[in-house]
Amino acid sequence: MYNHPAVGNILVIDDDLQITASDEKNYHEMIAHVPLNYIPDAQNTLIIGGGDGGTLTEVLKHDNLKNIVNVEIDQEVINASKKYFSNIGSSFDDPRATVHVVDAQKWVKHHSSNKQMNKIFDVIIFDLTDFGASESIITDEFFTNIKKMMKPTSILVLNYESLGWYKTNLGDFKKNMKTYFKNIFIYQVYQPTYHSGHYSFAFLSDAINPVNSVINWKKFDDKKIE
């Protein structure tokens, strides 16, 4: 944990900046509300990672969700966020959230074989360290098991990487993801404290093409999310 007069508290893991108090909302709002607005009546959401609680904070703003599961490997990250980012870390104490502190790869492998978890999730969000730094978890087996838990109409969103620095990797990423998903789109966010300030997310779905699908903005407005 660090503190800076301009950006406030800073969380760093393995020398990699994760979030700052000043702009965490840019990242967390975009990773959560974009997929959830394409499925306004979603009931089940799975978050992989997100130990700072920011993604969970935004997901919890959707009252239509009945089952919110967050799988995070590191209890110390949760503890640090509760202490230094209480506005988002407090989300782990929300009764609507079921939090599992465990290796996500093992959790997904175990639960994907459970019939009760078959095709249950409307939205799955990977909130991990930068995509390239998380390759140990992003494997063929992992995606195959994740797909077993997704509804046919579901969406998977993951934090991808900085397009300003790593845009040459995008072709390979889309080619690899075509193995699992019909629709693969990248959307962007201005994230000042991430490398280059030009960050992105991947939107993956078999049924929903975000370019052609219409968002029901009335349903979003009715939720009265600030």
Residues 164 and 197: beta-carbon distance below 8 Å: yes
Residues 59 and 223: beta-carbon distance below 8 Å: no
Q: What is the 3-state secondary structure (H, E, C) of the chain?
A: CEEECCCEEEEEECCEEEEECCCHHHHHHHHHHHHHHHCCCCCEEEEEECCCCHHHHHHCCCCCCCEEEEEECCHHHHHHHHHHCHHHHHHHHCCCEEEEECCHHHHHHHHHCCHHHCCCEEEEEEECCCHHHHCCCCCHHHHHHHHHHEEEEEEEEEECCCHHHHHHHHHHHHHHHCCCCCEEEEEEEECCCCCCCEEEEEEEECCCCCCCCCCCHHHHHHCCCC
Catalytic site includes residue 127: yes
In our burial notation (b when 16+ CB lie closer than 10 A, e otherwise), range 135-145 reads eebbeeebbeb
Q: Which of 15, 23, 127, 140 is flagged as catalytic?
A: 127
Residues 201 and 159: beta-carbon distance below 8 Å: yes
Catalytically active residues are 127
